[in-house]
Chains A and B, each alone.
Chain A
């Protein structure tokens, strides 16, 4: 242990290392990864002995790659680029051109990395980031193995970061995981879900387990129901071909939304170690009541956006998007009623929904508490509104508690008021991007905010029931909803039949 790190704000020492990005010409690298790396370098969090190596098919020089990245960082970085720091950072950036399916690419990469080890002191530590479609994982992983670029020991270390989708159903997820496991041990694998890098998502655990006032109420005795919403204003944004193969359920519900659900329902972990937290998340997933085929029809609602107005702009229907079939049956909206069959949550419905082209871009978890047992106060407005704790993930990250108060005056008139805590207001808005936190965690080998193999497979095991039921029903076209609305009428009915209604977040 470095004695000068003891007692420092961040006493974890970052190992010297090289980050190797496969898919370096792609959008993710330019928009997210390189700006994130630059920002952590500018914050002095990266070790001095650090290098970034981009790998892609296009032939280009180191300087050309640096220039591309400079442009990307200037455009997408949360802070203005400092030429002095950029020059220093750019010296650590280099490029390797090669076909992912050809072994010489990896042999070349190996000699390039050895040279970097000697020149920049990266000590043989490697973080491979696969910013490529899953179909490329196999060739890349076997190329790395054949080139002996995968160290199995603790020092030097090798880790791999993979991006979703982690399969398209349970068998394909298992196959993908087996492919990865053929080359890397699970402890070396970091499956990234950028939602978990968001401050408010991390804050969920803090709110739940660092405050004594919430946890006693966080159960079936006090909670009436929970609503989780992931709504986007945007449509498929030129990704029609991708969306035709996935739909919103596989794109958002199976991963982001299930993770939010896990963090909401999980039991307190015994520690904050990666496996302790992920063990509890897996237990939560295993507690979900399986969606039997007959239940899917009554508990799941699909929708597909038609034409409409979003922020006053008229937008086209999903079927009018490029690369989308005119008779597409792909869902762009889904709402589900989910039960968690365990001691804490037995009988409490969790209503989850995700959609494209919704009225507003918002992601939130809203816990609605039970009504007071006896209506002591006369309330001409139709009763006392139950308390709600809403954790807003994006935008305007924060937490709001709604409660009832008396309006000043001679009469006892009740009004809903909110205590509203906003991250941006309380802590400033220049919070790190999710990718910054996640990249640093991967470099540190801290896996808490990454998804473990069994989590991924449990998520698919649950969702596959839904897909099977839809398939068995003959993939009937989902009902249309107007773009800019909150989804199809059937989604409102899903709650209405339980005497509830969706929030308008």
Chain B
């Protein structure tokens, strides 16, 4: 039993800041002065973005503004610097309007430092639009015991991580936390959204009816990521491998200090994780290529999906299926604008609960424990 008295109540009056922000939000939508254009507010959700540095917040604010033009919402962008010796809480409010200036979203920026950081959840809670769904985008290191995270997550329907900012282990920890039923919150990851096209292309190998038996006959898989040789397996590659393995019913088997992949029929799958030097126009640790070889019923197929580095933005994929069947062929696919805004927007449009992500993460967890690297 702990008999220590509770810490004394802090008397620092931050409520005036919250009150000012509320007033400013209201004033945004006051009738315009004569001659000024009329602006309408649109709001379909609360989008709470938490960052751990001003630099990340500044980099991500244009992303949020772009997203809010497609999905009108009240965006609350929080910067927390708890290690600061100074205790302060401040914020500002602005309207973010589309090119036609007709429907506008709201953006509230909050900066908390030092002892003000634990109060962030209370501030956000006050400023959220009631009755609307809330998504929390957490762009800071994630510790599952963090009270600010837990309070914000409790008020949210979905928590989005970006393993570019956090790490695969953050996603694993969050998924485990959600899996253990401490919250009904759905988990999403921007890296998972980024690999959706790769998933679609891999699935395309087995779309043809004659190819479907080969899905159970994969003999080898090679995933190449954009990194130096010996780098740790990145989130995209780990999630793609986890997804393929979980969908195809593979299991991991330890042997001699390393992990081996086994198909449902017990046969081994040769998994090769490769690295190709980082490219200026592609994010580090992004997937560069996937190739697969499979055979069943006397048919052998080889499929590859390769990123083409020739263009300006390196967002073209070349799909090729080489098999002695009519479905053999090639195709060119454009990844499309893979900007932060588009990826977040696509993530927000995805179904809340994603069973495939949960299964992929469970698999990737084992790879992460094993410290898989790319050669």
Contacts and interface: CB of A to CB of B under 8 A. Distances in A.
A67 interface: no
A118 B207 CA distance: 18
Given A2-B212, A4-B206, A4-B247, A121 B42 contact: no
B103 A85 contact: no
B207 A14 contact: yes
Interface stretch (B7-15, B226-234, B323-331): B323-331
Contact of A7 (B204, B249, B330, B356): B356
Given A4-B215, A427-B71, A85 B249 contact: no
A117 B328 CA distance: 11
A9 interface: yes
Given A7-B355, A48-B319, A48-B329, A2 B207 contact: yes
Interface string A48-80: 110000000000000000000000000000000
A222 to B, nearest CB: 24
Contacts of B205: 4
Q: Is the interface of B mostly helix, strand, loop or mixed?
A: mixed
B215 A48 contact: no
B271 interface: no
A121 B204 CA distance: 14
Contacts of B330: 48
B354 A3 contact: no
Interface string B233-253: 000000000001001110000
A210 to B, nearest CB: 15
Q: Is the interface of A mostly helix, strand, loop or mixed?
A: loop
Given A84-B332, A425-B72, A427-B71, A5 B325 contact: no
A8 interface: yes
A3 B200 contact: no
A325 interface: no
A88 B72 contact: no
Interface in B170-227: 196-197, 199-200, 202-209, 212, 215-216
A49 B334 contact: no
Contacts of A16: 208, 326-327
A206 interface: no
Contacts of A472: none
Contact of B351 (A1, A6, A9): A9
A12 to B, nearest CB: 10
Interface residues of B, number: 45
Interface residues of A, number: 34
A2 B206 contact: yes
Interface string B304-347: 00000001000010010100011111111110000000000000
A294 interface: no
| From B204, B248, B249, B330, residue with most partner A Cβ within 10 Å | B204
Interface in A115-153: 117-118, 120-123
B209 to A, nearest CB: 8
Nearest to B42: A425
B326 A3 contact: no
B241 to A, nearest CB: 13
Given A48-B319, A426-B42, A426-B71, A4 B199 contact: yes
Contacts of A49: 208, 326-327, 329
B375 interface: no
A88 B332 contact: yes
Interface in A17-65: 42, 44, 47-49
Contacts of B56: none
A82 B332 CA distance: 11
Contact of B207 (A5, A85, A87, A120): A5
Given A87-B332, A121-B326, 15 more contacts: A2-B215, A5-B207, A6-B247, A9-B196, A44-B200, A48-B327, A48-B329, A85-B333, A118-B326, A120-B326, A121-B325, A121-B327, A121-B328, A155-B209, A426-B44
17 contacts: A3-B216, A4-B202, A4-B206, A6-B356, A7-B247, A8-B356, A9-B196, A13-B207, A47-B204, A49-B326, A84-B334, A121-B325, A121-B327, A121-B328, A422-B103, A426-B42, A426-B72
